[in-house]
Amino acid sequence: MNAFRDDVLAGKVVFVAGGSSGINLGIAEHFARHGAKLALLSRSQDKLDMAVAGIVAAGGEAIGIAADVRDFAAVDAALIQVQQHFGNIDVVISGAAGNFVAAAKDMSANGFKTVIDIDLIGTFNVLRAAYPYLNKPGASLISITAPQAVKAAVYQAHVCAAKAGINMLTQCLAMEWGAEGIRVNAISPGPIADTEGMARLAPTPEMEQKVKARLALRDYGSKRDIADVALFLASDNARYITGTIIDCDGGSKLGDATLPELPPRR
Ligand code: NAP
Ligand code: COA
């Protein structure tokens, strides 16, 4: 078994869906520093080229393949390319997602479906397409969910429904694929600094302050916080963990932690 050290992912092949920016790119960069070979997938080849260049400039190994996670055949074709380039896959991160803030009554059926298609069906497509190319036993599959999966939120009906589905999919696949030595888990990040997700959910400094004030830990997390959890789940140190959703959310799931004035004692 590996110790928790710098080469913990040495030689491991890691596929990151939604890996061209934000939290998922943070995971990819962190994994590259720990010796992994990275294959990134997202829609934009330009974004992928920049992400790959960053990893390579830092001394890592990476390729980028453009595909939309809503298109199973395209994801499958990308995975075949990864396998031909690097060999079988040890770790899959499924983090492609879309979000916008909209009241349900103003959301079109296609708007709702779009987020379900990217987040939930996209996650099924990525994990299902990866299955034949996984190193078994030993593969670790990690989806990126969100507190909205378990905590209702206004203007987030599409995301709440999609991420709840990801949590259940995680548990179902863990049960079905555990016998082959495949672990299936998810990470639920809270509000993470310098991300597209928070730029959409809290676009002004005032809104950002309000979000922070309601969190138990009173601050945003960092991409590195999520990458550290992902590294643990990807490593043999998590060899007995499957079907789990790990919250790395500053207490976001707990609800509003604002401390109101205490009522007078009676
Ligand atoms: P982000 O930078 O926008 O990352 C989204 C990634 O997914 C990008 O690489 C994007 O690249 C890709 N993508 C989007 N639609 C795709 C599609 N149809 N097919 C393939 N790739 C697609 O956002 P982020 O804020 O870092 O979020 C990353 C993950 O963390 C998401 O799963 C999100 O739900 C989750 N999360 C974020 C927060 C937060 O605070 N930001 C909190 C909780 C959970 P292209 O544009 O090139 O396709
Ligand atoms: N409010 C209401 N509806 C919206 C919307 C908004 N802000 N943005 C998009 N929609 C609707 C569109 O109107 C469309 O529905 P319609 O055909 O009935 O008009 C539907 O959503 C699809 O929009 P489209 O722009 O064609 O989708 P896309 O596949 O090109 O992009 C999104 C997907 C909308 C999720 C886009 O924001 C995206 O690519 N996001 C990725 C990055 C991201 O969200 N990062 C944060 C991750 S947490």
Asked if 235 and 244 count as a contact pair (C-beta separation under 8 A), the reply is no
Structure tokens at 125: 């497509």
- CA dist., res. 125 & res. 36, Å (int): 23
pTM assigned to the model: 0.97
Q: Which of 15, 16, 20 to mutate to test the pocket of ligand 1 (most atoms within 8 A of CB)?
A: 20
Residue 17: the pLDDT is: 99
Mutate to test the pocket of ligand 1, among 15, 195, 219, 252 (most ligand atoms within 8 A of CB): 195
Q: Which residues pair with 64 in a beta bridge?
A: 40
What count of Cα atoms within 13 Å lies in the side-chain half-sphere of residue 116?
A: 11
Residue 1: pLDDT band (50, 70, 90) is very low
Give the model's pLDDT for residue 5.
46
103 ligand 2 Cβ < 6 A: no
CATH code that applies to domain 13-251: 3.40.50.720
Q: What is the mean pLDDT of the chain?
A: 97
Q: Residue 160 has which token pair? A: 């709440």
Domain range annotation of the chain:
13-251
CA separation for the pair 110, 228 (Å, rounded): 36
